[in-house]
C-alpha cells in the first residue's frame, strides 16, 4: 500500500484551477495520453463557473485579505462567487462566528465591483 503525505495545502480560485488543468490537458495531449475522468469533470465545471482569469482572481483575493475579518478561504470563495448584493455576502459568511457590519459588506462589494 502506498501512503501519500500532504506536503502543503493552499486554497485556489476556480480560475487558478482552470489554468492548472488546461496546462495538464495540453501536456497530456502532447504526450498522446488522456486526462483522467475526474480531472476532465473538474475542468468542465471550473470552465463553466470561473468568472475571470487566474491573475485577476488572485489579485482580488490578495486585496480582500487586507480587510478585517477575512481569511484566505473566504476570500477565495468571494472571488469564485463574485457576490453582487449584501445578502450574497452574508450567505458566504453564514458559517462564521461573527457578523459583518454594513460598512464591511460595502467594502467587500466595492472591492468585488472593481474586478468585474
Q: What pLDDT shows up at residue 1?
A: 62
Instruction: For residues 104 and 83, state if they share a domain.
Output: yes
Instruction: For residues 63 and 99, state if they share a domain.
Output: yes
Q: What tens digit of pLDDT does each residue of 23-56 get? A: 999 999 899 899 999 999 999 999 999 999 999 9
| Number of domains forming the structure of the chain | 2
Instruction: For residues 62 and 108, state if they share a domain.
Output: yes
Domain of residue 22 covers: 14-49
The Cα diameter of the chain in Å comes to: 54
Pairwise CA distance, residues 87 & 64, whole Å: 18
Whole-model pTM: value is 0.87
Pairwise CA distance, residues 50 & 17, whole Å: 9
Q: What tens digit of pLDDT does each residue of 49-76 get? A: 999 999 999 999 999 999 988 999 999 9
| Inside any domain, residue 4 | no
| Inside any domain, residue 6 | no
Instruction: For residues 61 and 43, state if they share a domain.
Output: no
Instruction: For residues 59 and 108, state if they share a domain.
Output: yes
Amino acid at each position: 500500500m502506498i501512503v501519500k503525505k500532504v506536503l502543503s495545502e493552499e486554497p485556489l480560485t476556480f480560475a487558478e484551477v482552470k489554468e492548472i488543468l488546461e496546462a495538464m490537458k495540453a501536456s497530456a495531449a502532447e504526450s498522446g495520453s488522456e486526462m483522467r475522468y475526474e480531472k476532465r469533470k473538474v475542468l468542465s465545471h471550473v470552465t463553466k463557473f470561473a468568472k475571470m482569469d487566474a491573475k485577476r482572481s488572485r489579485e482580488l483575493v490578495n486585496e480582500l485579505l487586507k480587510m478585517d475579518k477575512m481569511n484566505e478561504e473566504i476570500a477565495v470563495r468571494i472571488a469564485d462567487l463574485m457576490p453582487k448584493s449584501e445578502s450574497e455576502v452574508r450567505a458566504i459568511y453564514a458559517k462564521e462566528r461573527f457578523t459583518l457590519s454594513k460598512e464591511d459588506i460595502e467594502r467587500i462589494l466595492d472591492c468585488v465591483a472593481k474586478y468585474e
